[in-house]
Amino acid sequence: MSKYAFGVDIGGTTVKLGLFDKEGCVLAKWEIPTDKSNEGSAILPDVADSIKAKMQERGIDKEDVVGVGVGAPGPIDSEGTVYRAVNLGWGVFNIAKVLNGYLDLPVKAGNDANVAAFGEMWQGGGKGYKNLVAVTLGTGVGGGIIVEGNILTGSTGAGGEIGHIHIEDNEEECCGCQNKGCLEQYASATGVVRLAKKRLAKDNAPSKLRNGNLSAKAVFDAVKEGDEVAIEIAKEFGDYLGKGLAAVAGVVNPEVFVIGGGVSKAGDVLFDYICPAYQKYAFHGCRSAKFVLATLGNDAGIYGAAGLILNS
Amino acid sequence: MSKYAFGVDIGGTTVKLGLFDKEGCVLAKWEIPTDKSNEGSAILPDVADSIKAKMQERGIDKEDVVGVGVGAPGPIDSEGTVYRAVNLGWGVFNIAKVLNGYLDLPVKAGNDANVAAFGEMWQGGGKGYKNLVAVTLGTGVGGGIIVEGNILTGSTGAGGEIGHIHIEDNEEECCGCQNKGCLEQYASATGVVRLAKKRLAKDNAPSKLRNGNLSAKAVFDAVKEGDEVAIEIAKEFGDYLGKGLAAVAGVVNPEVFVIGGGVSKAGDVLFDYICPAYQKYAFHGCRSAKFVLATLGNDAGIYGAAGLILNS
């Protein structure tokens, strides 16, 4: 009887790994460095060796492993083929088949943001829901969409790339993607800082934000202390994000938005600014969507990867 | 051996019905009036009687019918439950179960716009694709989304309601949904007329559109004749629609957009205005999406309904 699954989350610096039991509890978590030399050709062999070592350490037989799930950055289709992952040096190949070749275990693979969304549905903030949009407010704005319990990959692996929805016609600076006015330019951690800098430069209104380092955390800390300038910035952030998520809802009509990433550490105060804007812009048939915080943090990737194996 | 399926498209005035063979060819098409009296309680009995009569007329045994597909206006979940269809007077009940009770045949049901999108995928402009967004530019802007060959229903049946994506911050008039700045206010047939009226009122620039009735058809006819004011209007229409569809692509990343509805009768000239705007606003990973015209017209609903039975 098979009893375990491995979840693997491949990042540009480290690979996170997790050993899970069939109920979805994590039994061990560890990391190995990501070896990006030689176009990342050592990454999957290193992952395989690390999994084999863990199995030996724990006395786990191959027959007891249901499979290995993998999340990696870049477009990855539903068969596990990656179409270039620039952060890893990878070209085009089938992750599932290659890793299966090293391990002789069933392997499934998906885009890291989508896999993390799947993790939040399976064991995180979105547990109990089957139609979910996970939003990661980090350096950029990432997204992962789950429809009827399945990852929405999209035709070229760009499903859920909600950070680059056009949301502002009057933007003069370019987004990292070279477009102008992307959601990411306002709702990411760096986007919040941009909004804050612009607001502070507008006049001399007193604000705690004029002292010390500007960061998304500083903005929302000041909001909690009643700083009026910070509240204006939070409103602007909320208006952009609520508008963007209302557009997303008009397409996939989710039950719940699960908000994660660094900015989400501000906590429930975010919803005071996102939800009113969402209600304002959303089609009435989509207004019942809930907003919750992600709960798995940086472990969402390994949970979701294991979930690909255990929850499908 | 079962050989036939029926496709039923329930509208506010008439019910369209089609008899299909297993290859998806339509063998007969007919209509019956929609009886909306008594909260529409006669509609499904009338449909059942009409199907039975057609079977008798053609000498088709029940064993030869694979099933009956139904499209109807309003939110309908993947199990066939409708949650109020105001145009028909319907409350909440399971269409598939009720019609099965009258016919003793397998029944599947879905929202009419989604079912029409399914029809365009199965036998229309989107044939050969599995990830498709159908856009209906009629009195309003409707949408139907197909992901990996399945209708995206959404958690409350509002999946694909793309006509109400917020697209313009500086709008003072209300959309029919009571929001302001919805895609439908610019890209529907009535939206094009609105844009035209505003443009014509702006100055006295000469234009064929100043003579005769203003309509979306008149605008695109004038575009084809090189009318500069009409071309300005078409550019504005294309910018709004391209921007809206780029947002949709950032969510579901389709292979193809299938453009139908009254406005689409203008033909390929539409793409001269939609596609450049789409390319400008879309995330680079989504720019390979194709644009084609819908080909089934008002029959998309019966095709899609039959397709629910024959193509799943």
Instruction: Give domain status of residue B83, yes or no.
Output: yes
Instruction: Give domain status of residue B118, yes or no.
Output: no
* Residue at B24: amino acid letter: G
What tens digit of pLDDT does each residue of B197-253 get? 999 999 999 999 998 899 999 999 999 999 999 999 999 999 999 999 999 999 999
A166 vs A89: CA distance, rounded Å: 29
CA-wise closest residue to A19 among A74, A56, A72: A56
Q: What is the CATH classification number for the domain harbouring A87?
A: 3.30.420.40
* Residue at B306: amino acid letter: A
Quote the distance between the C-alpha of residue A218 and its chain's center: 22
What tens digit of pLDDT does each residue of B43-76 get? 999 999 999 999 999 999 999 999 999 999 988 9
- Which residues in B lie closer than 8 A to residue A243 (C-beta atoms)? 166
What tens digit of pLDDT does each residue of B26-41 get? 999 999 999 999 999 9
Using DSSP bridges, classify how beta strands B256-260 and B132-137 pair: parallel, antiparallel or unpaired: parallel
Structure confidence at residue A2 as a pLDDT band (50, 70, 90): low
What tens digit of pLDDT does each residue of A34-67 get? 999 999 999 999 999 999 999 999 999 999 999 9
B21 vs B114: CA distance, rounded Å: 22
Quick check: B9 and B115 in contact, CB under 8 A?
yes
Which residues fall within 8 angstroms of residue A128, CB to CB, at 6 or more apart? none
CA-wise closest residue to A230 among A245, A211, A258: A211
Same domain, A144 and A246: yes
Residue of chain B nearest A152, judged by CA positions: B252
Quote the distance between the C-alpha of residue B222 and its chain's center: 26
Which residues fall within 8 angstroms of residue A302, CB to CB, at 6 or more apart? A7, A8, A9, A16, A17, A18, A26, A29, A71, A119
CA-wise closest residue to B248 among B289, B190, B304, B300: B289
Quick check: A307 and A68 in contact, CB under 8 A?
no
Determine how many CB atoms are found less than 10 A away from the CB of residue B28: 12
* Residue at B103: amino acid letter: L
Structure confidence at residue B77 as a pLDDT band (50, 70, 90): confident
Residues A175-184 have a mean pLDDT of 94
Instruction: Give domain status of residue B136, yes or no.
Output: yes
Classified as helix, coil or strand, B23 is coil
Looking at residue B18, its pLDDT comes to: 98
Looking at residue B84, its pLDDT comes to: 83
Same domain, B130 and B105: no
Same domain, A133 and A110: no
What tens digit of pLDDT does each residue of B150-180 get? 999 999 888 999 999 999 999 999 998 899 9
Instruction: Give domain status of residue B120, yes or no.
Output: no
- Which residues in A lie closer than 8 A to residue B145 (C-beta atoms)? 251-252
Looking at residue A1, its pLDDT comes to: 54
What tens digit of pLDDT does each residue of A231-286 get? 999 999 999 999 999 999 999 999 999 999 999 999 999 999 999 999 999 999 99
A94 vs A100: CA distance, rounded Å: 10
Same domain, B141 and B262: yes
What tens digit of pLDDT does each residue of B99-158 get? 999 999 999 999 999 999 999 999 999 999 999 999 999 989 999 999 999 999 999 888
Strands (E), B148-243: 150-151
Same domain, B102 and B143: no
Quick check: B14 and B34 in contact, CB under 8 A?
yes
- Dig out the tokens for B285 from the structure: 């990973």
Instruction: Give domain status of residue B156, yes or no.
Output: yes
Which residues fall within 8 angstroms of residue A255, CB to CB, at 6 or more apart? A129, A130, A131, A132, A289, A290, B155
Structure confidence at residue A127 as a pLDDT band (50, 70, 90): very high
A145 vs B191: CA distance, rounded Å: 31
In chain A, % of residues over pLDDT 90: 92
Domain of A251 in residue numbering reads as 126-295
Chain B positions contacting chain A at CB under 8 Å are: 75, 78, 130-131, 143, 145, 147-148, 152-162, 164-166, 169, 177-179, 243, 246-255, 280-281, 283-286, 288-289
Looking at residue B2, its pLDDT comes to: 62
For residue A202, the number of C-alpha atoms closer than 13 Å in the C-beta half-sphere is 13
Same domain, A106 and A138: no
A164 min Cα distance to partner chain B (Å): 6
* Residue at B161: amino acid letter: E
Looking at residue B312, its pLDDT comes to: 74
Same domain, A148 and A255: yes
Determine how many CB atoms are found less than 10 A away from the CB of residue B95: 27
Looking at residue A77, its pLDDT comes to: 87
Looking at residue A295, its pLDDT comes to: 97
Instruction: Give domain status of residue B194, yes or no.
Output: yes
Same domain, B79 and B157: no
B285 vs A84: CA distance, rounded Å: 12
Structure confidence at residue B259 as a pLDDT band (50, 70, 90): very high
Instruction: Give domain status of residue B117, yes or no.
Output: no
DSSP state string for A157-189: S-TT-GGG-B--SS--SPPTTS-SSBTHHHHSH
pTM of the full structure? 0.93
Strands (E), chain B: 4-10, 14-21, 26-33, 65-72, 81-85, 90-94, 107-111, 132-137, 141-147, 150-151, 256-260, 290-293
Residue B161 to residue A253, Cβ atoms within 8 A: yes
Same domain, A168 and A271: yes
Out of A165, A251, A288, the one facing B145 most closely (by C-beta) is: A251
Residue A284 to residue B177, Cβ atoms within 8 A: yes
Say which DSSP state B50 is in.
H
CA-wise closest residue to A171 among A186, A157, A159, A161: A186
- Which residues in B lie closer than 8 A to residue A153 (C-beta atoms)? 253
Range A16-19 contact pairs with CB under 8 angstroms and sequence separation of 24 or more: A16/A298, A16/A299, A16/A301, A16/A302, A17/A47, A17/A50, A17/A51, A17/A54, A17/A302, A18/A299, A18/A302, A18/A303, A18/A305, A18/A306, A19/A54, A19/A58
- Dig out the tokens for B39 from the structure: 């909260």
Rg (CA), chain B: 20
CA-wise closest residue to B140 among B162, B172, B114, B168: B162
- pLDDT at residue B1 tops 60: no
Structure confidence at residue A75 as a pLDDT band (50, 70, 90): confident
Chain A positions contacting chain B at CB under 8 Å are: 75, 78, 130-131, 143, 145, 147-148, 152-162, 164-166, 169, 177-179, 243, 246-255, 280-281, 283-286, 288-289
Average pLDDT for chain B: 95
CA-wise closest residue to B118 among B308, B282, B310, B277: B308
Same domain, B174 and B267: yes
Sign of the CA dihedral running A198, A201, A206, A210? positive
Q: In degrees rounded to 5, what are phi and psi of residue B266?
A: -60, -25
- Which residues in A lie closer than 8 A to residue B284 (C-beta atoms)? 177-178
Same domain, B101 and B239: no
For residue A291, the number of C-alpha atoms closer than 13 Å in the C-beta half-sphere is 24
A240 min Cα distance to partner chain B (Å): 11
Q: Rounded to whole angstroms, what are the CA distances from A2 to A96, A172, B277?
A: 19, 56, 52
Domain count along chain A: 2
Looking at residue B83, its pLDDT comes to: 86
Average pLDDT for chain A: 95
Strands (E), B185-268: 256-260
Q: Rounded to whole angstroms, what are the CA distances from B176 to A76, B137, B140, B195, B238?
A: 40, 15, 9, 16, 21
**Start-end of H helices in A203-299:** 216-224, 228-252, 269-281
**Most B CBs within 10 Å: which of A82, A253, A284, as the mutation test of the B interface?**
A253
Instruction: Give domain status of residue B119, yes or no.
Output: no
Q: Rounded to whole angstroms, what are the CA distances from B195 to A230, B73, B217, B305?
A: 38, 28, 13, 35
Looking at residue A270, its pLDDT comes to: 98
Q: In degrees rounded to 5, what are phi and psi of residue A122?
A: -75, -45
Same domain, B81 and B30: yes
